[in-house]
Amino acid sequence: QVQLVESGGGLVQAGGSLRLSCAASGRTFSSFLVAWFRQAPGKERDFVAAITWNSGRTAYADSVQGRFTISRDNAKNTLYLQMNFLKPEDTAVYYCAARSGGGIYTIQAQYDYWGQGTQVTVSS
């Protein structure tokens, strides 16, 4: 089992920045692919970004490419999402997710472990 706990959400004005964190415990975090998803009210949960176990590969949704940066610190068992130039349409609950093994996956059903989420609200 892997337990994931997100933090760092909040209210920010459009154009501002936030950094989300996801603290992991349990099984060896360093061997897992980890990702961020988000879910806006009334919408499905969408892929945001993913990073492989050794940070060798990353992937981003087109909507956040160039504005968001995913990173991880395996020594601290922590995943990060730096969000810059935030827009009102970035408003959502942000979830971190994990799965064992290699590769990059962008479908929520492909992930085995989930956090409870952290709310990000961007005002216009």
pLDDT at position 66 is 97
pLDDT at 40 over 80: yes
> How many residues are recorded in the chain?
124
Average pLDDT rounded to a whole number, residues 79-108: 95
Structure tokens at 57: 């590969």
Average pLDDT over residues 81-95: 98
pLDDT at 30: 80
Query: Is pLDDT of 68 > 90?
Result: yes
Buried-state track 20-59, b at ≥16 Cβ within 10 A, e below 16: bbbbbeeeebeebbbbbbbeeeeeebbbbbbbbbeeeeeb
Tell me what the mean pLDDT of segment 59-69 comes to. 98
pLDDT (average), residues 8-19 = 98
Residue 81 has pLDDT above 80, yes or no: yes
17 has pLDDT over 90: yes
